[in-house]
Amino acid sequence: MSTGPIPTVGVFDSGFGGLTVLKELLPLAPNARYLYFGDTARLPYGSKSPETVARYAVQAAHFLESHGASLLVLACNTATALAFEQTRAAAHIPVIGVIEPGAAAAAGISKTRKAVVLATEATVASHAYQRALAARQMQSLEKACPLLVPLVEEGWIEHPVTEQVARIYLNEAFSGEFEQADVLLLGCTHYPLLRPLFQRLVPPGVAIVDSAESTARAVAQTLQTGNAPASASDKPELHFFATDSAEKFRRLGTSFLGRPIQQVVHVDLRE
């Protein structure tokens, strides 16, 4: 465990999904201070232009920096895919996105060098995962799954409709030359909530890589706390900010974070 001041980690997402990154991070780096910013008033980012997404991400980065963040986690696949370089250039602190860690984890375990990536339409259109995997000598099929995020946010994690939708997406993806794919990469931070469902539905021998989990490990490594297990006395300091209803954020966010969210500060970011 490194000594020195407690690091302050700023975690940014367009909404709730990035809470799955934070959930994975808390046990790995329990001694940090965390600031979570959800731009819930302006989601979804997937329907917006890259220029708009970059503007929003830079605004969020500056907000988190002004509140003391010493490391920024872009816990949003769309923002990472469309605006990572712009955010990194505008920030004065290190920035970690969700795509590179996920791709690295997938490449590390694949034998067939073929992966299926499930993501939102905007992330798929950017081909960010395809590029990251190709750089690691992996072929990938990127599958847009626009129905999954609303189903997760509706709380229909165990619903038969969600299972039917997921089955259709997976059957379409694991076909043709990608029948041989041996990794399913979850390229959206909502999808970890569906991991048990995917586990039941994927072909035998397919490993699931969760980009939220991979990103948390990369952040913990950067903080040099990756090998420091949480003890009973470790209570991470958590602060939540949202640009829309604080009450809705508390209610919906709890299922993503896996623990109650006590207080959310409403923020109005001026254009």
Report whether 148 contacts 165 (CB < 8 A): yes
Give every strand in the sheet of 207-210, ordered side by side. Answer: 139-144, 114-119, 183-186, 207-210
CB atoms closer than 10 angstroms to residue 236: 17
Task: Catalytic residue, from 71, 133, 188, 220: name it.
Answer: 188
Q: Active-site residue 76, yes or no?
A: yes
What does the alpha-carbon distance between residue 270 and residue 162 come to, in Å, rounded to a whole number? 37
Q: What secondary structure letter does DSSP report for 240?
A: E
DSSP string, 6-44: PPEEEEEESSSTTHHHHHHHHHHSTTSEEEEEE-TTS--
Structure-token match 């395809």, residue found: 130
Q: Is 145 a catalytic residue?
A: no
CA 143 to chain CA centroid, nearest Å: 17
DSSP classification of residue 188: S
Is 186:208 a contact under the CB 8 Å cutoff?
Answer: yes
Q: Which of 71, 76, 124, 219 is catalytic?
A: 76
Instruction: Please identify which residue in the block is written with the tokens 């949202």.
Output: 242
Secondary structure class of 95 (helix, strand, coil): strand
Asked whether the CA dihedral 124, 127, 128, 130 is positive or negative, the reply is positive
Are 182 and 114 in contact by the 8 Å Cβ rule? The answer is yes
Residue partners of 225: CB distance under 8 A and separation at least 6: 1, 2, 28, 29, 30, 31, 32
Using alpha carbons, select from 63, 18, 86, 47 the residue that is nearest to residue 270.
63
Catalytic residue numbers, as ranges: 76, 188
